[in-house]
Structure 1
């Protein structure tokens, strides 16, 4: 089938034909990829001892997701969603899968169909639904997401009324969502809470915002925003930013049990930095060349302290004089004027999280506990299994996240693993890496997985099929000095094979498949909006 799709792409005559041919090839390739994922899971279930592994914390599904994720360099959560759709197409919706294999529909539509039909349990209803959907998809045409979802739900309602998804109505209650913005160093908080909690929250923000002295440069809105952070850290007051020595409210409050790890250079702590202008081009034109336009002098970096202080207070005026005093050309020129201000200090980063501009990091450092991070260099191994606090801090800051391919769990939530198991491998930076619990268990118990670590922190993983994937420390871009080589070591004894005596894989309370069936049954029992006999029916 792919030969015909490739031939169609090769023989296109117009750009429009090319778009259509490539879209169909892309859809068919995606279908084939999901099919291979389903084959991998089937092979895992068919292997010896797979039934015993179904209740492992890192079960057959997790192992297959890890192998696919390593090949695609995506997270296990993304792979789990892809694999769920692959299994649904193969076992529940084969006729829809056939339409997908012909390249007639895109994966985003396939994913929506798999999700909206997940609660259908009756085999006969599922076969009828699969057949009708397949017939409709060949002539469906373009639809919005809402229209598509409504049409799928209408078909489900005809065949199995209890199988219409109710998760949306169940999730329209209270929630809190936090999203970070790397560009600005800000985070956006969206929440829906009860009226009493909202009133208490509002009053608490006001109370904290008024604990600073009158010289604090922030207005009330800025102090209320900062009070959210103070509440999160468990502080009983808001530290003042007046920067006067005689201010009693400027001291850092007592710790409240919440720790945020930020990696930054010393200059971001407010120390002096070199603010000289960059080099200028003083060389004249060569013989025979026309005179060159003079290059504008590079914008000199502004003092970091001044940039930090500029984060609070009122915004400067957009124009130096009223806008109506300008001509149109002058107004456009004035609005374009200004090259911005450079910062001589590189950005900081939250471990496994957002990148923070240096002025924002400098402001956070005013009331933070500062710990100097020491590169171990060629220091010898430590004579114990558990690394010292100093060595553990270095490994977490060097790695930033779990070091398994595609995993993004912050290093603060991971184990520090010996790449070569202790005591066969030493406790040193060249043999330590951050692994989340799931991938730590995968490496320890599942046959076929192995990894090799190099002195600069680079790790090469090999999966059960012999394919390799390389991961690099998360600090390599912003803090390359942390990736400087550390002391090498010799392995004098061969580590034992996996399933070392005395080690036991943690177990799940129930298998993943049983948990999924339980969730489906629970959702089918929820009241459905607009269904006769329910409180929501009108």
Structure 2
């Protein structure tokens, strides 16, 4: 008898009931896969413990100090093991830290939650939400408080929301006497705040501001915004009141040029630098627009550029509206040709070379890293030999366009002190090999995974190694 293979039906051929069944199966498989990935992250952490003194332990780095990736009493994880897991998952190092920290928190401080997650019956994102709330709780939660939270949350994990989780943590703090002594109402920490929320996504064109101020400040601000909105309307603006109030708030910020916070008793002969610090505040917005050859053969500016602050896209039309403001100063920096090879005999790059590399790379060039290049170090791909010139030898690691890479401090240290290897087959193209043999390419198109798949098949074909030529890129920096 001849066997005949039957292909699986296309989704378009399924009935409504069959589609619902397929949806349930895929959702269950996705939930199981997420639980398995969390377990893999935990085992990766177990396989890479930090040293006994904890000097190489992974932390989140903040301007005010380092923050652990999991709660009190949990095992510490070696810092340099995390980037390789993140690279394998196609996420940033910080995202991998968060995943590992959440897994450790569940295993060691939320065992009931961990058990339910590993059953595959509850969404993993809800368990991560619980872990985040307990990891970053201030004050730190004791083992007794954690056991109480675990018992309260685990049975209802699939129903716990963010607000309810915050109430449970607050109850645990009160129940176990962890709350700090209340401060007088006139103390510095009386509840006032201003939060400026960074927008998410490259196309976000607005920011949300949330604040709680004193009654006097609130009334003054309300009157100032009302007056500003009225002035805009009198000037011909047809925008709604809310939009005009928003515009007036921006004008208040730009017009604030001489706020004196020192007082009448200040020394009139104070240092000139201190006096200058109280003068006009200036915010630099670095904008990059690329000149391109148009279909008719002329050269024009691409209408979509990059707002470097936050790595957002910006439209030329938006920039035109910004520069119409009376308090906006526009500085056009010299055009940088990204295809030009710039070199210097010195170890430190020239300012022009530095700007060229920053414009070319835009972010740290480690796989999946998104830290802006302007805050990164410039690293020699092939190390610079400080003795080569004095000994009459050719320089193996010249300071030039094709041998420099923007690396954030964390990944700069990773390249210097671990088994990660970096090569640059072409200017702006960087190929990384991890200690376990994973391979990645980072270029102007992003990160590409060059590691062979588990089934032995080669990775999918991606962008060419050598990037296509690009014309000169102007760097505009409007300042308000």
Give me the TM-score of the superposition, normalised by structure 2: 0.62
Which consecutive unaligned segments of at least 5 residues does structure 1 have? 1-12, 237-253, 268-272, 279-342, 487-538
Secondary structure class of the residue paired with 2:159: coil
Q: How far, CA to CA, are the matches of 2:37 and 2:361 in structure 1?
A: 31
Q: How far, CA to CA, are the matches of 1:436 and 1:417 in structure 2?
A: 10
Shift of 1:401: 1.5
What is the RMSD computed on CA atoms of the aligned residues? Answer: 4.7
**Matched-pair contact (CA < 8 Å) for 1:85–1:111:** yes
Shift of 1:103: 0.8
1:350 and 2:307 aligned:
yes
Report what 1:175 is aligned to.
194
Structural mapping, 1:127-138, within 5 Å: 130=150, 134=154, 136=155
1:79 and 2:101 aligned:
no
Shift of 1:223: 5.8
Which consecutive unaligned segments of at least 5 residues does structure 2 have? 1-16, 67-75, 182-188, 260-278, 386-395, 448-465, 472-480
Secondary structure class of the residue paired with 2:47: helix
Q: Deviations over 1:83-109 (max 9, x none)?
A: 111102222233432322221111122
**Matched-pair contact (CA < 8 Å) for 1:452–1:460:** yes
**Matched-pair contact (CA < 8 Å) for 2:225–2:248:** yes
Report what 1:53 is aligned to.
56
Structural mapping, 1:89-238, within 5 Å: 89-118=106-135, 119-122=140-143, 126=146, 130=150, 134=154, 136=155, 143=159, 145=161, 149=165, 161-162=176-177, 173-180=192-199, 182-183=202-203, 185-198=205-218, 224-227=248-251, 230=254
Structural mapping, 1:114-513, within 5 Å: 114-118=131-135, 119-122=140-143, 126=146, 130=150, 134=154, 136=155, 143=159, 145=161, 149=165, 161-162=176-177, 173-180=192-199, 182-183=202-203, 185-198=205-218, 224-227=248-251, 230=254, 256-265=281-290, 345-351=302-308, 353-364=311-322, 367-375=329-337, 377=339, 379=341, 381-423=343-385, 424-445=396-417, 447-473=418-444, 484=469
Q: How far, CA to CA, are the matches of 1:428 and 1:37 in structure 2?
A: 39
Q: Deviations over 1:133-178 (max 9, x none)?
A: 55x25xx7x63625863795599589x6447999xxx996412214
**Matched-pair contact (CA < 8 Å) for 1:117–1:164:** no
Aligned in 2, Cα 1:374/1:122: closer, same or farther, shift over 3 Å? closer
Report what 1:69 is aligned to.
86
Aligned in 2, Cα 1:109/1:148: closer, same or farther, shift over 3 Å? farther
Aligned in 2, Cα 1:120/1:428: closer, same or farther, shift over 3 Å? same
Q: Deviations over 1:194-240 (max 9, x none)?
A: 4455566667779999999x9898987586255256258x699xxxx
**Matched-pair contact (CA < 8 Å) for 1:264–1:349:** yes
Report what 1:41 is aligned to.
45
Q: Number of aligned residue pairs: give it.
A: 370
**Matched-pair contact (CA < 8 Å) for 1:373–1:394:** no
Query: Which structure would you say has the larger Rg?
Result: 1
**Matched-pair contact (CA < 8 Å) for 2:84–2:434:** yes
**Matched-pair contact (CA < 8 Å) for 1:209–1:227:** no
Report what 1:28 is aligned to.
32
Secondary structure class of the residue paired with 2:343: coil
Specify which structure has the higher proportion of strand.
2
Aligned in 2, Cα 1:16/1:453: closer, same or farther, shift over 3 Å? same
Aligned in 2, Cα 1:210/1:100: closer, same or farther, shift over 3 Å? closer
Aligned in 2, Cα 1:382/1:193: closer, same or farther, shift over 3 Å? farther
Secondary structure class of the residue paired with 1:356: strand
Q: How far, CA to CA, are the matches of 1:200 and 1:128 in structure 2?
A: 46
Q: How far, CA to CA, are the matches of 1:150 and 1:187 in structure 2?
A: 25
**Matched-pair contact (CA < 8 Å) for 2:291–2:302:** no
Report what 2:262 is aligned to.
none
Higher relative contact order (CA 8 A, sep 6+): 1
**Matched-pair contact (CA < 8 Å) for 2:228–2:245:** no
Shift of 1:356: 0.7
Q: How far, CA to CA, are the matches of 2:333 and 2:82 in structure 1?
A: 38
Q: How far, CA to CA, are the matches of 1:144 and 1:42 in structure 2?
A: 29
Q: How far, CA to CA, are the matches of 1:345 and 1:484 in structure 2?
A: 16
